[in-house]
Structure 1
Amino acid sequence: MNLKILLVAIIAAFGAASAQDSPNCRTSCGNVSIDYPFGSGKGCYRSPEFLVTCDRSSGEDIPYFIDRTTDLVITSISINMSEVEIMMFVGRDCYNSIGPVESDRPYFTLGSLKEFRVSTKNKFVAIGCDTHAFVSGRRWNESRDIGTGCISWCGRNNHIKNGSCSGVGCCEVAVPEELSSFNMSLQSYINHADILNFNPCSYGFLVAEGKFNFSTTYLANFESERMPMLLDWAIGSVTCDEAKGTNDFLCEGNSECDKNYTGPGYRCRCRGGYDGNPYVLNNCTNINECEIGKHDCKYKCVDIEGNHTCTCPNGYSGDGTKSGTGCTAEQSTVIKIVAGISTSAIFLLIFVAWLYLLLKKRKFILLREKFFKQNGGLMLQQRISGDRGSRDQARVFTIEELKRATNNYDANRIIGKGGYGTVYKGVLADNRVVAIKKSKLADQTQAQIEQFINEVVILSQINHRNVVKLIGCCLETEIPLLVYEFIPNGTLSDHIHNESKSLAITWDTRLRIATETAEALSYLHSAASVPIIHRDVKPMNILLDDNYVAKVADFGASKLIPIDQTELATIVQGTLGYLDPEYLQTNQLTDKSDVYSFGVVLVELLTGKKALSFDRPEEERNLAIFFLYSLKEGRLFQVLDERLQLDDVPSEINQVSRLAERCLRVKGDERPSMKEVAIKLQGILASTTQNHPWVQSSSNEHEGEYFLKEPSKDYDCTDGGIVSNASSSTFDSISKLTMLPIASGR
C-alpha cells in the first residue's frame, strides 16, 4: 500500500517537472518569469489558480491572472518568497469649486484564486489635505468585514515634507492579515474648499512596502493610476503534515516544507546546500559553496553533496574554519618553544596588569590626599586638635566609611535630591543612622575653604535640641561630603501640605513646632559663639522627628556674622515667597531677614497654604500679602486652615496672627528679633497648656513660664506691611564647596 502511494506521488511530481518541459509552456511573458506551480498553457500549471495568461493585444506581452477580464496585471512572480506582485488601481475623490466631480473607489477581489491572499507587506496609503481614507474587506470563508484607515490633514503648507507619510499631506497604515477582497472609501469633510489651488483630489491605494515615496507634488496631481501590490500564495488549503503522502504533495527530493509558514496551505523550499525550484522534482540541485565563495574555510574548501567541508594542509590539524579552531600545526620542537614563549608572555602580561593596578591604587591614594589637603583637611585637623576638650567636635570620615554606610551610594538609599546635590540615608559602623549630603561640583577658592572649615567647626558645636546636628564630613573627595543626624519623619512642608498627614498636626502641635523653630533661630542669632543667619527658613528646611519635635536644617545658604557687625552685603539668595523684601532691594542681609521668613512659616502653619502658588487667583498667589490683607479686613477666620476644624478663632491664634503680622513688616527695624518672637510664642504655648490640661506638657514648659515674667511688647495688627511679590531672585552659596541647599531640606 505504501509503495503504491509513493508511486502516485512520484508520478505526480514527474508530471509537474515534465509540464515545465512541454513546448506548450511559456517560461516568461514580457519581463516576468513563469515557473511552476505557475504556468501559461495547457498542463503547465498546478491548478487553475496558478494559470497565467499572456496578453499580446496591446503589442507587448502583458501577464494576467486567468484571463484578461480579471484585469490583475502581474509584474513579478517570486517562487522562493511565495509572492506575486500585481498592479492595483488607485482610488481617487476629486472636487472643484462647486463640489465633487470625480470619484473612483475601486473594489478588489481574488475571486477564484483561493490559494492567494493580500500580503501584509503592503501598506494602505492616502494622499490629501482633507482626506479620511478607509479600507475594509473580508478573509476567505468569513462573512464579517474587517478594516482600517487613516486621516491626512495639511494645516500649513510648510508642514508638508517630502518622504514623510505621517499624517500631514500623506498617511499610511498596516493592512489586516489574509484579506481576500477589499474596497476603499475616501471622504472629504470640507470638499477641499480651501485647498483646491494645490490639492483638488484625495487618493488611496494599497502598495508594497518600499515601492512608494511621498512627494509634495502629488497633492496637486498624482498621475499614477495603478500601484504595485503584493499577494501571498501557498499550495492547497491543508498543512504540510496533512498533505504528506498524498498525490498532491510537492515537497519531494531535496525539497522540504517551510517550517516558518503556518498556513493555510503549505510552502516548499530547497534544503540547505541546495538551490532551485522546490516545487519541481529534482530541481533543487547542489550548491557549490567552494566555487561561489560561500564558505567559512580558512585554507581549503571541498564541495560535497548538499554541503562542503574544510580541510587543513599537511602537518596541520583542526576543523579548518575561520570561526572555529582553524588549523593548528602539529606538535614539534619548534611548537614547544613557541608554547614556552607564549607562557612567558602570559606571565609578563599578568605582572604588567598587577603593576598597573598597583600604580592605579597609588594614584587613587595620592588623589585622596590631594583632595584632603585641597579641602582644608589639615586646617580642620588642627582646629580639632586645638580643642580636644570638646566632645562635640566634627569627625572626619574616610571615603570607605561613607561608602559602606550608604552601600556604595545605592539609589535605594536616596532620601532627597535637588539642584545642588543628593542626600543619602546611611548607617555608620556604630549603627548610628545618619544623613549624608553629596553636593554637585562647584568652583572653590582658598577663602571659601577656610570659611567652610570654620563653618563645619561652628555647626558641629551647635548643641540645641531643635537644630539638626552636624556630625562630621569627608574631605577625600573633590567636593566634601557632610554627615548629619538622621531625622526620620520628613519635613514640616510634607505634613502641613499633605492632606492625609495634616490632620495629625493639630493646632497645639503646630504652635509647639513654631515655638521650637523660633527657639532654634533665636539660639543661632543670639547664643551661638558666632551669630548665624540661616537665610533659607521655610517648612522644607524644618524637619520633624517621630514625636513631631522640630529640627532646623540645611545651613547651605547660611552666613556667619562677625560679632561687631549687624548686617552683611551679599548676593540675594533664598526661596521665592520667603525672601525678605528689604533684603531683596538692598542686598543687605540681617538677622531680621530670618524673622521675615519665619513670619511666612507662621502664616503657612495658620492657613495650611503654600507661600507662593500660581494655581491660586492672582490676589492670593503671594500668601504673605493675602494674609496681611485678610487680617486687616478682619477676615482671619476665612483664611485659617480648614483642617484645624475650628468653630471660631481662639485667642492664641489671634496672638500668633498678630505676631506673624509684625514679622512680615517691610522694614526690618519694625520687626521683632527672633528672641522676642521665641519669648512671645513660649508665652502663648504656656497659656495654651494651662487652658488645656489634657494636652501633654511640652519640654519647654518651664522655660516658657520663665519668659512669661519678662516684659514684652504689645503688637499692633493694624499697621500691616506690604511685601514685594518678587518674580525672580539670584542664588549664591555660602560655600561652593558643599554647603548648598537641596530639595530634601538637609
Structure 2
Amino acid sequence: MPGNYVVVVVLSSLAALVLLLPPLFAAVDDGMRSGGKCTNSCGNVGFEYPFGVEDGCYRGGGFNLTCNHTYQSPRLFLGDGSVQVLDISVPHGWALINNTGMVFNSTETRVVLNRTWDQLVGGPYSLSGSNKIALVGCNARVDLRARVKVKHGGRGGDDDTGSNLISSCTAVCPLDLEDMTPVFAIGSGGSSAACSGVGCCQADINLDIPSSYTIQIHNLQELGGSISPTDLVFISKEEFSYTNDMAFGNNIPQALPALLDWYISSDPSECTYESAPDCLSANSFCHAYDLGYKCHCSDGYQGNPYIRGGCHDIDECKSPQDYSCYGNCNNTPGSHICDCPRGYERNASTPNGCKDIDECGHRETYQCYGECINFPGGFDCLCYHGTDGDPRKEGGCLPVKHHLSARDLGLFIGLGVGSGTILLLIAVGAPFLSRKMKDRMRIAVEVARALTYLHSAATVPLIAKVSDFGASRYVPINQTEVTNAVQGTIGYLDPEYYYTGHLMDKSDVFSFGVLVIELLTRKRPTYRTDQGDSLVLHFASLLRQGQLVGILDPQVLTEGGGEVMEVALLAGMCTRMTGQDRPTMREVEMGLENLRVSKKLASHDTASSSLVSQMAEHRMIATGDMEESSIQYSMEK
C-alpha cells in the first residue's frame, strides 16, 4: 500500500507576506529612527530600526512588523501577521522565525511532488545557509532547489531561469529479515534515535537561498509495499531531534525555529568603497553580498549602523577575557592597548605572557650602581655594606664610619641609645628587610657577640635588655638579676620579667630570640595574625607543626638552605617560657658561629657542644617544648 506524503516546509508561511508589504522606501524621521517615538519591543522580542511597527518607524519593503496583542503574551510577526518572529539581530542581519508548515498528500508511487514559492521575490529575506533540511519517513528523498539566473552562451544570449540543487537527503526503512517488518530507527518506543538515514535523514543547506525556491519529494515506494507512515520535511537551524514514533505521526513538533538572512537593499552595487546610503552612523561600513548588502559597525564599535550615532565604542577593558588582555588594559576609540604591568615585559595578550624583568641583569639601563635585589615586578637598589648615599648614581655610595666592633657595639647598647631596629640598621648600613641570608646571619652573630660581651667581658656587667636599650641597668658582679619597675617594648619583652619585675641576663636571651625571628620572617614583633596571635606565638605554633614555610621570608627560603631550621630552632629555644630553660648568650653566640662555618670546620667548639645537643633534643621534643613555651605568648595578646 503506497504511503501518504505530508510535506511541512518551514518558509511556506512567508507566502502571504508580500501581499501586504508597504512601499519599499517609506519616509522615516531621524528622531523616530532612534526609537524615541517608536515601539521597540513586543512580548519578549526587542527590535530597532530598520524594523518598526508604526508608520514612519521602519525602512519599508518588508521591514514592517506587527505586534499581536490577542495572545496572552504579545507575539511579533513579519509584515501584517503571517510569520511569527522569535528574535531579530540588527548588527548581524538575521531574523529567527517560528516556522509553520504546508501539507500535501499523494497516493501514487515513484511520484515527484513540487511546491514553489516565488511570491517573496523583491523582499529583503532569504533562507540562511546555516539551516538544515530534515526528512522523516520511509523510502523517500527530499531535494531543496533554488531558482537562479543563468546565462546562455554566445552573444545576445538572454537570461533564463534554472533550478539549482542546493541540498538533498534520503530516508529508507529496510525490512527486518526475521519478521519482514520495516525498521524505522535504531531504538524502541519513543526513545531518541539518530537522524542518519534510517527513518530520518538530514543535510546541511550551506548556501544562502533567495526567496524563490522549490522543495521536491521523491516517492521511492515499491509497488505492493505495505509501509504507510507519514513523511515529514523540516527546515530548522538546529540538529533535528528525532524519535522513531514520529514515523507514525506521534510527537511531531508543531513549529521549529528557522533562520532568515535579511539585507537592507537587494542591490549590492549600491555599496561602493564601503559606503552606502543606508549606513548612516559614523564608524560604520557596508558589505556587499550576492543577494544584497548590509551595514555593519566598524571594528571596535557595536550597535546599530542604520541610525546616526548608532555605532558606539566597545570598552574592551571591561571584558579582558573576551579580548585577550592579561595585563594593563587601556581603552581607546575603536580599540584598546594591552601592556604588561610595570616591571614586566613580553606578551600581555596571552595568559602568563608577561615575564618579570631582571633589572639587576641590566644595571646601567636601570641605573643601579649599588647592591641590586630583583623581585617580581621591580627591584631594590641599595648602597653596599659600609657605604651610604645614592646608589642610583655612579659613585653615589660613599664609605661611612658606622661599623662598630663587638666591644663598641656593647658600649653603645650599654649607654642606652636606640632600639632593636636601629641596632640592625647600624649593623648592616641598610634595612635588614632587603638583605641576603648571609647578611642576616652576620647581623645575628654580631648582636650575639655584643650581648655576650655585655654579660661577661665588660668591666661592669650589664643586662642590655634588647627590648628597650634605654632601660638597661648595671648589675653588680656578684648578682645575676636586678628588680625594678617593668618597662620595655611589648614584643621584645621577656614574659618572666613582665610577671616578676626581675631583670636577668636571660631576659636578653629572650629579646634576642625575638630579633632572630624578625630576621627570619621579615615581620615586626608587633605583628598579629588574623586570629590575634603575636609574632612569637605564631612562629612557635608553625615551628611545632613543621610549617614554617608559611611565615618565613621568601628570600630566606630561597637562600637559607639547611641552616634556616637550625636558626629557627635556636630562636625557639631563646624564647622559652622560663629563663633557666634558655641558653646563655655565650652558648647562643657560639652556636651561631658554628652554623656560619659548619661547611668549613669538622668539629665544634666545646662551649657550644652542649647547645648543639640541646638543639637536637629540642627538635625531638618540639611538640612538648612548644606547647609549654606557647603559654608565654598569651600575655602579649
Q: Same fold (TM over 0.5)?
A: no
TM-score by length of 1: 0.37
User: TM-score normalised to the size of structure 2?
Assistant: 0.43
